[in-house]
């Protein structure tokens, strides 16, 4: 009974996994504004779980990043979001309002792929659906009743790769590693007009190169965006292949089903003779598709 109780309330997992579980129920959280005008969220089933939002921060560059290149606002504010259990800080990340502050995103993970002949590798931003940045992004927008039908979510999915699991991430990063030499000239070629446009936007956003040469920043942003675009292309190619396989499987199952039902009807007529009785029809459907 004790084990069942622990499993029911996620007491048998790490504090990080407990946070991941309870963040999926925003209705169990309450928003509180503190005396110093900071926003907090308290988990009603266990007040030891507290989320604090602080900002806007004044020590962050004001220009946008590659993970939000589609965002039309070129000046952004940075907030910090912290997860506590009791007095212990468990996790923190940056929280950025987007789409005229109608929605918010938690900064996605920044990852590197060590391809040949590229110093420090190539980098990009991604969300993994069972990791805190993605779960927190959903939580903060769900608790504010933000609609995902707006432009902001299209921007997020355009500018970032979204994976189901770490296993899927590893699969596509290996594909990039294996194919990079063959596709780098076609998929990762720089466009001077894009770099010029990004450079202009960064200047307009207010930065004057605090993070380095603005043109170099623009070029790095373009490279990251091209990598995101390529991985999303690989994901779409795999989805198209799986859809084609599903269609083939369903067609073949339908043909087998028709053949079996025809034989059953023939056998029934031979055994029982012509009658109003009809044997039950056989229906063949895949329980699930597994393409791993």
Q: What is the pTM of this model?
A: 0.85
Residue 212 lies in a domain: yes
Residue 259 lies in a domain: no
Count of CB atoms situated within 10 Å of the CB of 218: 23
Higher pLDDT, 180 or 120: 180
Residue 229 lies in a domain: yes
Assign 11 a pLDDT band (cuts: 50, 70, 90).
low
Q: Is the pLDDT score of 267 beyond 60?
A: yes
Count of CB atoms situated within 10 Å of the CB of 126: 22
**The pLDDT value given to residue 276:** 58
Number of domains present in the structure of the chain: 1
Residue 45 lies in a domain: yes
Residue 254 lies in a domain: no
pLDDT digit string, tens, across residues 15-43: 999 999 999 999 999 999 988 888 999 99
Residue 279 lies in a domain: no
Residue 251 lies in a domain: no
Q: What is the mean pLDDT of residues 256-282?
A: 76
In whole angstroms, what is the distance from residue 192 CA to residue 198 CA? 10
- Using alpha carbons only, give the angle 153, 158, 159 rounded to the nearest 5 degrees: 100
Q: How far is CA 288 from CA 163, 204, 253, 260, in A?
A: 20, 51, 13, 22
In whole angstroms, what is the distance from residue 51 CA to residue 42 CA? 7
Q: Are strands 161-163 and 122-128 parallel, antiparallel or unpaired?
A: parallel
Residue 123 lies in a domain: yes
**The pLDDT value given to residue 160:** 97
Q: Is the pLDDT score of 179 beyond 50?
A: yes
**The pLDDT value given to residue 151:** 87
Burial tier of 285 (Cβ tally within 10 Å: 0-12, 13-18, 19+): exposed
Q: Which two tokens stand for residue 272?
A: 């029982």
- How many residues are present in the chain? 292
Q: Provide the mean pLDDT of the chain.
A: 87
pLDDT digit string, tens, across residues 213-225: 888 889 999 999 9
pLDDT digit string, tens, across residues 271-283: 777 665 666 777 8
Q: Is the pLDDT score of 69 beyond 90?
A: no
Residue among 77, 72, 105, 70 nearest 206 (CA): 77
Return the sign of the alpha-carbon dihedral for residues 114, 120, 121, 125.
positive
Q: Is the pLDDT score of 169 beyond 50?
A: yes
**Residue numbers of the domain that contains 224:** 2-246
Higher pLDDT, 285 or 238: 238
């Amino acid at each position: 009974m004790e084990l069942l109780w622990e499993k029911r309330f996620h007491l048998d997992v790490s504090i990080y996994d407990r946070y991941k579980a309870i963040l999926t129920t925003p209705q169990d959280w309450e928003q509180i504004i503190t005396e110093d005008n900071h926003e907090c969220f308290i988990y009603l089933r266990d007040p030891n779980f507290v989320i604090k939002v602080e900002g806007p921060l004044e020590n962050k560059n004001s220009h946008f990043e590659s993970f939000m290149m589609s965002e039309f606002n070129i000046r952004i504010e940075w907030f910090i979001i912290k997860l506590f259990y009791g007095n212990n800080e468990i996790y923190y990340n940056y929280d950025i309002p987007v789409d005229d502050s109608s929605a918010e995103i938690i900064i996605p993970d920044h990852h590197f792929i060590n391809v040949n002949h590229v110093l420090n590798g190539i980098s990009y931003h991604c969300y993994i659906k069972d990791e805190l940045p993605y779960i927190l992004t959903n939580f903060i927008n769900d608790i504010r009743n933000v609609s995902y039908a707006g432009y902001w979510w299209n921007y997020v999915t355009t500018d970032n790769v979204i994976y189901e699991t770490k296993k899927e991430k590893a699969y596509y990063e290996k594909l990039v590693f294996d194919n990079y030499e063959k596709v780098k000239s076609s998929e990762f070629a720089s466009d001077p007009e894009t770099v010029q446009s990004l450079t202009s936007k960064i200047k307009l956003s207010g930065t004057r190169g605090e993070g380095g040469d603005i043109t170099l920043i623009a070029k790095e942003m373009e490279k990251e965006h091209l990598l995101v675009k390529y991985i999303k292309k690989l994901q779409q190619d795999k989805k198209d292949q799986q859809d084609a396989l599903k269609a083939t499987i369903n067609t073949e199952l339908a043909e087998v089903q028709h053949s079996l039902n025809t034989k059953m009807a023939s056998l029934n007529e031979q055994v029982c003779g012509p009658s109003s009785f009809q044997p039950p029809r056989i229906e063949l459907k895949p329980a699930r598709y597994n393409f791993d």
